[in-house]
Amino acid sequence: DSKSKIIGKSPCEFSPEKQPDGKFSKDKEFEITSISEENGKAKFEWWNQINDGKLVPVEVMLTSILLNGKKVFHALCRDVSERKQMEQKLEYLSYHDQLTGLYNRRFYEEELKRLDIKRNLPMTIVMGDVNGLKLINDSFGHVAGDELLKKVAEVITKGCRGDDVIARLGG
C-alpha cells in the first residue's frame, strides 16, 4: 500500500515461500531475473502477499534498466485476480454440464482416451437414461425436467466413488 515498502526490496520479501507452480519463490526469482538480465525484460505471473497475509495473483513486467550508471530492475505489477477467476470459471464451464455440474461430453471423450490404456483394463462404462423426461417436460415444463435431471445426477454421484468419472452426455 506504499511505494516505500517495496522500493529496493526483492520480490521474495513480499511473496509466499512457494509460488503456485510449486517452485520456491527464491528459485523462481533467480530464474526470472536471469532471463530479464539476458533479454532486458521478462513478463510472468507471480503471487504477492499483501499486508493482511492474503495472496494476490499479479502479472509482472520486469525490465532491466540503468539508473545513475547502475543496473537495476524496474517492475510493474498488475493485480490479475479477476482475470484468474474468469479463467477458472471458463475452464470449469468448458468441462462441466451447466445444469447438473457433472462432467460434459467433451471431458468424457478426452478422459476416455486418457484412461484407455492396458493398465486400466477391463474398464466399465455404465450408461443410463432418464425415462419419461420428454413427458415430464411436456406435462410440467422444463423447470420440472431440469430438477429431475439434477436429482438423478445427485443420486448417481452419491452412489459412485470419488475418483469415478460421472458425465452427462445428453441435452
Per-residue confidence (pLDDT) for residue 48, from 0 to 100: 86
Q: What type of residue is 85?
A: Q
pLDDT in tens, 58-92: 998 888 888 898 888 888 889 999 999 999 999 99
Please choose, from the candidates 92, 28, 95, the residue with its C-alpha nearest in 3D space to the C-alpha of residue 60: 28
Please choose, from the candidates 97, 1, 95, the residue with its C-alpha nearest in 3D space to the C-alpha of residue 48: 1
pLDDT in tens, 89-122: 999 999 999 999 999 999 999 999 999 999 999 9
114, 100 contact by CB (below 8 A): no
Per-residue confidence (pLDDT) for residue 171, from 0 to 100: 64
Higher pLDDT, 33 or 84: 84
58, 46 contact by CB (below 8 A): yes
